[in-house]
Structure 1
Amino acid sequence: MDYQEKLPLHVLSGFLGSGKTTLLKGWLAQQNLNEVALLVNEFGEVGIDHHLLNEVAPDTVLLPSGCVCCQIRGELKTALLDLFERRTRGLLPPFKQVILETTGLADPSPILSTLLHDRQLQHHFIQGTLVTLVDAEHARMQADVQPEWLAQVSAADKLLISKSDRINPSQQTLLADWLGQLNPLAQLSDTRTALNDPHSLFLLPLRSGSRQQRFRWLGACANDGYRLAPTTHSVSHPVTQTCVITLHQSLNWPAFAIWLSMLLHCHGRTVLRMKGILRVSDSSTPIVIHGVQHTLHPPVHLHDWPGELESSKLVFILRGLEADRLQQAFSRYLRAFEEP
């Protein structure tokens, strides 16, 4: 099955109480429900959210008790394959996308790993957009005491601020700046804006978006002056760093792939997120790569360069690994493998 026929699996993440179900209800009310399949994962013995969502999406599937990021990844696979089989047999409408609402305690990276490394799932599904909700009122406190919060925020393709009416405008600005430093790769918005433009909530700009949308896929770092040296942002609670590497020469793709695989193998827990658009020596068009912790997604070939970007750009979000150290490792790789 080629890319155009595969079904995107979008993930809606966010810590407990961030408003995932409320957002999903509002979004579903504006959709053709024959085109959406919904999976809900709740932590605990009794599910509540799927009953609320059944009001607008009667075919909502509740995953078995437990956290989808750890003990029930097998059930996630079973549920997805069951949905696809029922769709094929005509027992469900021919939906075009699957939405997974995770429990507020889930780390998204194992979910993505399940989809990327399982051959059966790869045949029918592709990774969609990972949207994380951030509770404006409680974000700082959750960042201090809940390690899952950072995993959800750093893995996101889109960050949506919820309950922004509970903080004043100056606090909203500070929160947006802080989130932009924690994950400069993510598109930042709020839930109200998302519901006003429901088509864009789970949009896949990497392949199907416009040139400018694919340019913005790199996040705030896409406009970072194309510097050769890394830029570092340190924030407290928790501490992360952003390393931006820009390279004007073409990369040796096989050698670079080995270097990157070794980096993630050794430092996957400290490389929270990475994205890149690369000019490689054996291709006239750019290659896009991205990953979450140890999980590296298959590279994607674009038909053209997005926006005004024409140089290779790599962006890493780090925790526990100094940006200077990563830059030095990349420089050693260049000296060892790349032509002058």
Structure 2
Amino acid sequence: MAGTDFHILCGFLGSGKTTLLLDFLALPEAADTAVLVNDVGMIDVDGVVVAGAASGMPVAMLANGCVCCSIGNELVGTVQNLLHDRSETGLPPFRRMILECSGLSRPGPIIRSLADLGAFDFRVRVLATFDAGQGGDHAAHFEEAAAQLAAAQSVVLTKLDLPDAASVADGSAAVQALNSLAVVVAEPDRPARARAAFSSRSPAPAAPVVPAAIGGLRSMRHPRIGVFLATIPPDRDWDAVTLWIEDLAARCGDRLLRVKGLVGVAGIDGAVLVQAVGTIFSPPLRMPAGVGGTPGAVVVIVQDLSATDLDEVCGPHGVTLAET
């Protein structure tokens, strides 16, 4: 099953996840897609709607409750069943699988659950919808919305086609204020938006860190979320970098929302990509020499932690911090 894209589609309540998914399922590019839907409530309304529009595609509706906290085992078992049934039919692997999460889900625990499916070598992507008009307010008042946006590799601006919709520039700026690492899909045309959101072309793995460009967004930031640039000395060996990562995860716990950046490691040519959603770190990825910019800069996005708090864990490792 190598090569299957696994999209974790998240976004706060009412931000347009189901609409985006339905728009994609109506496109010819949606062929060979399996869909999993998880909603909160006694009746999985979204699952029923998606199943009715899927035109023969396999759709699995997960049990009541947030997949991130209550039914991780069911998620794994359901995915395994879908893959087994596909194999039994003699058809080629799914091109993609899409998990539409509850609006109250956090991506980190979902990724942890998917670790049990490592044998299938999925390309996992976190995709978040963002109401261009109200998304910033949601993120300012609801921790789940902030966690979803901070974890996303791609953020899709929704409701741009509605009368009196917010401008693309304002919506994009609001997203970048929370997650400067995300690729923003800002397409007013709904089919084009859906096509871009679920494209097989994943964002480049390098960490585009340009503090000067995002510093002007400070006033738009979530009052409880901090975005920091951690600089790691280039002479550290991998054991030293790992120790810093372990201490950072232990100190921050659930308040660590996102980590991504390139580090230089003693004895290794080229940079090493380090990235995490919450405290779930992906395996380090060695980058070719000259790819991804200058190593040593790592973006750290946290909630309810100050620069002083992070200095306590970073300072002993020789890692310096700057708030962007």
What percentage of aligned pairs have identical amino acids? 27
Q: Which amino acid aligns with 1:90?
A: T
When structure 1 is superposed on structure 2, of 251-260 and 236-245 the one drifting more is 236-245
Match of 1:267 among 252, 258, 263: 252
Residue 132 of structure 1: SS of its match in structure 2?
Answer: strand
Contact 2:275 2:281 in 1 (8 A): yes
Where does residue 56 of structure 1 map in the other structure?
54
Could you say if the C-alpha distance between residues 93 and 279 of structure 1 is closer, same or farther in structure 2, counting changes exceeding 3 Å?
same
TM-score by length of 2: 0.85
Q: 1:283 to 1:167 in 2, by over 3 A?
A: farther
- Tell me what 1:285 maps to: 270
2:246 aligned counterpart, secondary structure: helix
Distance change >3 Å, CA 262–CA 205, structure 1 → 2: farther
1:29-178 map, 5 Å:
29-54=26-51, 55-58=53-56, 59-90=58-89, 94-116=93-115, 118=116, 121-166=117-162, 173-178=169-174
Residue identity in the other structure for 2:294:
E
Superposed CA offset, 1:172-206 (max 9, x none):
54443232121112112335367426554245666
Paired residues of 1:232 and 1:242 also in contact (CA < 8 A): no
Specify whether residues 290 and 40 from structure 1 end up closer, same or farther in structure 2 by C-alpha distance, changes over 3 A only.
same
Question: Distance in 2 between the 1:192 and 1:214 partners?
Answer: 26
Aligned to 1:239: 224
Question: CA RMSD of the aligned region, Å?
Answer: 3.0
Aligned to 2:322: none
1:7 to 4, 7, 14: 4
2:296 is aligned, of 312, 315, 321, to: 312
> d(CA) in 2 for partners of 1:139 and 1:255?
39
Which residue type is aligned with residue 83 of structure 1? L
The one-character-per-residue Cα deviations of 1:205-238 (angstroms, maximum 9, x if unpaired) are 66xx6xxx344xx25xx23369xxx999465654
Residue 192 of structure 1 aligns to a residue in which SS? coil
Displacement after TM superposition at 1:24 (Å): 1.0
> Which residue of structure 2 lines up, in the alignment, with residue 326 of structure 1?
310
Q: Classify 1:139/1:201 alpha carbon distance in 2 versus 1 (closer, same or farther; 3 Å).
A: closer
| Native 8 Å contact 1:194 1:200 kept in 2 | no
Cα displacement string for residues 240-285 of structure 1 (whole angstroms, at most 9, x for unaligned residues): 1111134572431111112211210121222211101122113213
1:110 match: secondary structure: helix
Question: What's the CA shift for 1:289?
Answer: 1.5
The aligned counterpart of 1:17 is 14
Partner of 1:338: none
Letter in 1 for 2:316: R
**Do the aligned residues in 1 keep the contact of 2:251 with 2:313 (CA within 8 Å)?**
no
Contact 1:7 1:126 in 2 (8 A): yes
2:280 alignment partner, one of 284, 291, 295: 295
Q: Does 1:224 align with 2:224?
A: no
